[in-house]
Amino acid sequence: MRALANLVVDLGSDSFDGSIAAETRRRIEARGLEIEERERDDALCAWIDFAFGGGWSGESYRSTNLVLSRGGKRRAFVALAARGLRFAWLRGEGARPGTGVFGPIGVAADARGEGIGADLAVLGCARLRELGYRRALIPAVGGLQLERFYERALGARVVERIDPMRWWEPRARVVAMASGNGSNLQAVFDAIARNELPIDVAAVVVNRRDTVAAQRAAAVGVRHVECEVWEREAEPRATYDARLLRTVERFEPECVVLLGWMHLLDAAFVARFRELLNLHPAYLPHDPLADSVAVPDGSTIPAFRGAHAIRDALAAGSAWVGASVHRVSAETDRGEVLLRRPLACGEERDETQVLAALRPIEHRVTVEAMRLWCFMRERIRVV
Give the pLDDT of the chain (383 residues) as one tens digit per residue.
678 999 999 999 999 999 999 999 999 999 999 999 999 999 999 999 999 988 899 999 999 999 999 999 999 999 999 999 999 899 989 999 999 999 999 999 999 999 999 999 999 999 999 999 999 999 999 999 999 999 999 999 999 998 877 766 789 999 999 998 999 999 999 999 999 999 999 999 999 988 999 999 999 999 999 999 999 888 999 999 999 999 999 999 999 999 999 999 999 999 999 999 999 999 999 999 999 999 999 999 999 999 899 999 999 999 999 999 999 998 989 999 999 999 998 776 789 999 999 999 999 999 999 999 999 987 654 44
Cα 113 to Cα 107, 116, 262: the distances in Å are 10, 8, 48
pTM score, whole prediction: 0.94
In DSSP notation, 244-271 reads HHHHHHTT--SEEEESS--SPPPHHHHH
Cα 141 from Cα 121, distance rounded (Å): 14
82 class by beta-carbon count within 10 Å (0-12 exposed, 13-18 middle, 19+ buried): buried
Structural domains of the chain in order of their starting residue, each with its CATH number: 4-162 (3.40.630.30), 168-374 (3.40.50.170)
- Structure confidence at residue 348 (pLDDT): 63
Q: What is the structure's pLDDT at 54?
A: 84
Q: How far is CA 67 from CA 32, 41, 155, 213, 231, in A?
A: 13, 11, 22, 44, 54
